[in-house]
Structure 1
Amino acid sequence: MSAERQFIPLDIAVLTVSDTRSEADDVSGRTLVERLQEAGHRCIEKAICRDDVYQIRAVVSRWIADAAVQVVISTGGTGVTGRDGTPEAIKPLLDKEIEGFGELFRMLSWEEIRTSTVQSRALGGVANGTYLFVLPGSSGACRTAWDRILQEQLDYRHRPCNFVELMPRLLER
């Protein structure tokens, strides 16, 4: 029998993408911060930026370049309207996309919101050794993503495998 693994806290940055939210009413961003901290991780930075591809890229690029940031989770801007540009902002920054993240998120969302899940363009990926997860802007979607996917995948103790155990190898070529 293998030895029990010890929890490894991660340094996570949270970005809310919104043209209307402020710290006072950012329920989704607050939900993510509370959940990741309850799980034992550290929120090393939280920001809100307008739904503008270049502003989103500027914030996320800074975090990707910062070796202290291990995970970036964004909420908002994943819909299909003209103002929803988070996937377009993030995809070009990725070294690798984690297709299964968006697929699993939509499958789980189906249980909660049925066919409305097709409007979600949630995605996951890796850039410069940093995990990135792009979530819809609703607090319900943030709870679903964290509670049913990210909490386990960002926990080194989770078996049979998890994202944390891959971190030392993310920059291999």
Structure 2
Amino acid sequence: MILNPHPDNYDFAVNCAVITVSDTRTLESDLSGQIIQQLLQNAGHQISIYTIVKDEPVAIQELLEYLEHQFELEAIIFTGGTGIAPRDTTYDVVSNWLTKTIPGFGEIFRYLSYQEIGSRAIASRAVAGVKNQTVVFSLPGSANAVELAVSKLILPELNHLIKQVQDRK
């Protein structure tokens, strides 16, 4: 049984960015980015920016800095680059950029992933946290992983997290 110890009585649209980190995907072939956008929009949230960035630390860092200063984003969701392969650098850049981490996100995501894919879930470096008043999630690149994370973790808690970091009443 899943408990909700603090029922939320608020519902508002969250201004989001969806960023795919990939050396090969295009806007047309990016199924994971499309899934994230569709799930967010179906829940009533806004997508202010959607883009693909190469899995290069400097490119990811520059994009984060641009997003921080150009948009009034409340949430940024990355997909891709969270594994342990040499080209997987999203986790390193994003986790260093955050001012606070939300350790439970990665822990629970890996637990849920383990239930679906078994022990390979240990290689995921999914992470979430906060920078200023923006909540940031970094997910693996697979379509199944993003559907799991967005449906089971992000959407149920997004408004609550935004309310917390922005001190909304």
TM-score (norm 1): 0.89
Query: CA separation in 2, counterparts of 1:66 and 1:131?
Result: 16
Paired position in structure 2 for 1:50:
54
Shift of 1:65: 2.9
Shift of 1:67: 5.3
2:166 maps to amino acid: P
Alignment of 1:167 onto 2:165:
yes
Distance 1:4 1:116, change over 3 A: closer
Query: CA separation in 1, counterparts of 2:10 and 2:101?
Result: 28
The alignment partner of 2:11 has SS state of coil
Output aligned runs, 1:55-74, within 5 Å.
55-66=59-70, 68-74=72-78
* Unmatched runs of 5 consecutive residues or more in structure 1: 156-161
Paired position in structure 1 for 2:136:
132
CA contact (8 A) 2:76 2:135 kept: yes
Distance 1:54 1:5, change over 3 A: same
Paired position in structure 2 for 1:158:
none
The percent of aligned pairs where both chains have the same amino acid is 35
Query: CA separation in 1, counterparts of 2:90 and 2:132?
Result: 19
Query: CA separation in 2, counterparts of 1:6 and 1:82?
Result: 42
Query: CA separation in 2, counterparts of 1:6 and 1:96?
Result: 24
2:118 maps to amino acid: R
Deviations 1:131-166 (A, max 9, x none): 1000000010000000100011013xxxxxx21320
Deviations 1:42-74 (A, max 9, x none): 000001010001101111222223451010000
* Unmatched runs of 5 consecutive residues or more in structure 2: 1-6
Distance 1:90 1:4, change over 3 A: closer
Output aligned runs, 1:61-140, within 5 Å.
61-66=65-70, 68-140=72-144
Query: CA separation in 2, counterparts of 1:64 and 1:140?
Result: 28
Q: CA RMSD in A?
A: 1.7
CA contact (8 A) 1:60 1:72 kept: no
Paired position in structure 1 for 2:11:
7
Shift of 1:4: 7.7
Of residues 22, 27, 49 in structure 2, which corresponds to 1:18? 22
Shift of 1:129: 1.3
2:13 maps to amino acid: P
